[in-house]
Structure 1
């Protein structure tokens, strides 16, 4: 299947990043969100990020202008996806929200359209079951910041067809990403490995093993990680980390995925990391 027209549902950090890379790589894209103010903010974010790429001489001013010209905004999902060959969902990690989105997509996209989810932990098989086209549903898990990170986990649901998988993997390569085939198990590969490490770092803080700065330094200098686990947790969002750990714990039933009580406390207090100005560290 040939993909030219794309749509991204959800204009948050991941959604605007995905729209950015689609537009920069010559795909027409409709960025969709019910919140019109968030849509305008997302367009501003994309323009600023493209400008940074111009400043770094990664792209030219003409390429920036062309990319912006390929992005349309829509607050009506049904209308925004009517011509889409590929839709990527990037809404919050809540099953009820994703179920509503995929039922809408199934009803209003062309019959041959592929429906992809950027979910980091929810079952693609379950998401596909919300539609009448489970063979055309696939995981397309990008990483933040999307314009910079080159990995995409392409996740096969139980009924994802080879044609669907191959098309999405080809699109990922066209976006200059590295697609990795992953089967549909909780947390896929990335978060099944990453989240227990982050969770254990939080337990170290709670138990007074070391200060957050020192825990990150151990992992950066001792394990050659580019970013410490607590800084990374703040970057991802502590609420997102908690949601993923809850899915892993519920689905796999293993105590090693039990979210640290300190993580729950920070999320309850609204200390979610960079996006709120405070998590394990403070930010302007």
Structure 2
């Protein structure tokens, strides 16, 4: 069953910043959403993130109130509750083994005609698919932060992905979520992460070398090239730890041009991960919005 172009019941595994944003987008599309978390505390925290996100949509006039979409959200710690979902999106941290285990866990309970998607921003879908019973239904739905406001979803097609699932994913993203789908083949970093990380790493190297301040480097890209946000501020928003993980993966797959700058490594080791910790290349303790 579908509601418009989105399955009437969908699932999201992992309710962190990205997972909560994906839940929000699915709720606004009219779907009933099941959010799976590792334990009750995590589930409660994830539900609160979704509630705050829906509250911001109310403030911006996107929806009348948050109660109606929140009424279609169910949180759980039992994967069996995903059984009736027509689409499940994995949004756990960017760790290949964790994602493999999560996808296997979900595949064991969903129906044969349900889609299985991963929100990975860099890990090979072909590698993730090797542990699945039905790899032809795995595809990438790479959302961007902040999910409710972002217009883009990168649809990643693995070697085994069936063409029918590709077509459905494009329709879901375009007609159901009201976002723009970009279809790319499975390759390290896909299109967005590969280009975005390359720009971000070079900006960090420039800051490290004293070429200019973070503010001026970002202004050069925002005002000179029309980027809505400079690469250093964007890295703070994405998370320095996330960017470091992707850079190390791309370095292994594509070579030393993606080697992370020492400044990035040092900041992550010091616990400065960007906006979520209050400090990265900027001080976020005095800012409430991006």
TM class by shorter-chain length? Answer: over 0.9
Structure 1 residue aligned with 2:12, among 8, 15, 33? 8
Tell me how far 1:44 sits from its aligned partner: 1.9
Tell me how far 1:153 sits from its aligned partner: 0.6
Report SS of the residue matched to 1:200: helix
Distance (whole Å) between structure 2 residues aligned to residue 55 and residue 22 of structure 1: 19
Report SS of the residue matched to 2:108: helix
Is the CA contact (8 Å cut-off) linking 2:84 and 2:110 kept in structure 1?
yes
Report SS of the residue matched to 2:171: helix
Distance (whole Å) between structure 2 residues aligned to residue 35 and residue 229 of structure 1: 35
Distance (whole Å) between structure 1 residues aligned to residue 88 and residue 215 of structure 2: 40
Matched, 1:256 2:277: no
Tell me how far 1:257 sits from its aligned partner: 1.0
Q: Mind listing any 5+ residue stretches in structure 2 that lack a counterpart?
A: 286-290
Report SS of the residue matched to 2:187: coil
Map 1:64-75 onto structure 2 (within 5 A): 64-75=66-77
- The superposition leaves residues 150-181 of structure 1 with CA deviations (integer Å, 9 ceiling, x where unpaired) of 10011100000011111122111211111111
Structure 2 residue aligned with 1:245, among 224, 244, 247? 247
Distance (whole Å) between structure 2 residues aligned to residue 220 and residue 22 of structure 1: 30
Tell me how far 1:35 sits from its aligned partner: 3.4
Q: Cα RMSD over matched residues? A: 1.3
Is the CA contact (8 Å cut-off) linking 2:272 and 2:280 kept in structure 1?
yes
Tell me how far 1:142 sits from its aligned partner: 0.5
Report SS of the residue matched to 1:7: strand
Distance (whole Å) between structure 2 residues aligned to residue 235 and residue 29 of structure 1: 26
Distance (whole Å) between structure 2 residues aligned to residue 52 and residue 104 of structure 1: 33
Matched, 1:205 2:207: yes
Report SS of the residue matched to 1:139: strand
Deviating more after overlay: 26-35 vs 8-17: 26-35
Tell me how far 1:237 sits from its aligned partner: 0.2
**TM-score, normalization: structure 2?**
0.93
Matched, 1:35 2:36: no
Deviating more after overlay: 203-212 vs 230-239: 203-212
Matched with 1:274 is 275
Matched with 2:288 is none
Matched, 1:104 2:108: no
Structure 2 residue aligned with 1:60, among 43, 60, 64? 64
- The superposition leaves residues 62-106 of structure 1 with CA deviations (integer Å, 9 ceiling, x where unpaired) of xx3221111100112x22311111100000000110011011112
Matched with 1:19 is 23
Structure 1 stretches of 4+ with a deviation exceeding 3 A read none
Distance (whole Å) between structure 2 residues aligned to residue 8 and residue 51 of structure 1: 20
Report SS of the residue matched to 1:46: helix
Distance (whole Å) between structure 2 residues aligned to residue 279 and residue 273 of structure 1: 4
- The superposition leaves residues 96-132 of structure 1 with CA deviations (integer Å, 9 ceiling, x where unpaired) of 1001101111211112211100000001111111201
Map 1:60-99 onto structure 2 (within 5 A): 60-61=64-65, 64-76=66-78, 78-99=79-100
Is the CA contact (8 Å cut-off) linking 2:21 and 2:53 kept in structure 1?
no
Distance (whole Å) between structure 2 residues aligned to residue 171 and residue 164 of structure 1: 10
Report SS of the residue matched to 1:73: strand
Deviating more after overlay: 140-149 vs 51-60: 51-60
Tell me how far 1:49 sits from its aligned partner: 2.1
Distance (whole Å) between structure 1 residues aligned to residue 214 and residue 170 of structure 2: 38
Tell me how far 1:229 sits from its aligned partner: 0.9
Distance (whole Å) between structure 2 residues aligned to residue 90 and residue 195 of structure 1: 20
How many equivalent pairs are there? 280
Distance (whole Å) between structure 2 residues aligned to residue 203 and residue 35 of structure 1: 40
Report SS of the residue matched to 1:111: coil
